[in-house]
Amino acid sequence: MAVNTKTQVVYRKPEAKDGARVWELIGDTGTLDLNSAYCYILLGDYFNDTCMIAEQDDKIVGFISAFRSPRNPETLFVWQVAVASSHRRQGIAKAMLTGLMNDKACHGVRFIETTVSPSNKASRRLFLGFAEEKSIPSTVTVGYGAEMFPGGTSHEEEPLFVIGPFFNDI
Ligand X SMILES: CC(=O)NCC[C@H](N)C(=O)O
Task: Using CB under 6 A, pick the residue from 48, 56, 117, 168 that binds ligand X.
Answer: 117
Q: Between 5 and 92, whose beta carbon lies closer to ligand X?
A: 92
Asked whether position 115 contacts ligand X by CB under 6 A, the answer is: yes
**Cα angle for residues 85, 91, 94 (degrees, 5° grid):** 110
Collapsing DSSP to helix, strand or coil, 6 comes out as coil
The answer to whether 162 contacts ligand X (rule: CB under 6 A) is no
Per CB under 6 A, 83 contacts ligand X: no
CA–CA separation, 82 vs 14, rounded Å?
14
Distance in Å, CB of 69 to ligand X, minimum: 15
Q: Could you tell me the smallest distance in angstroms from the CB atom of residue 114 to ligand X?
A: 5
Distance CA 22, CA 48 (A): 13
Collect all residues with Cβ–Cβ distance below 8 Å to 4 and sequence separation of at least 6: none
Which C-beta is closer to ligand X: that of 67 or that of 79? 79
Q: In this structure, are residues 143 and 160 in contact, taking their beta carbons and an 8 Å threshold?
A: yes
Could you give the string, one character per residue 43-82, with x where binding to ligand X holds by CB under 6 A and - elsewhere? -----------------------------------xxxx-
Rounded to whole angstroms, the Cα distance separating 32 from 24 reads: 12
- Using CB under 6 A, which of the segments 37-45, 97-105, 113-121, 145-153 binds ligand X? 113-121
Ordered alpha helix ranges (H), the chain: 19-29, 37-46, 92-101, 121-133
Query: 19 to 38, contacts with ligand X by CB under 6 A?
Result: 32-33
Contact residues for ligand X, defined by CB under 6 A: 32-33, 78-81, 114-117, 123, 158
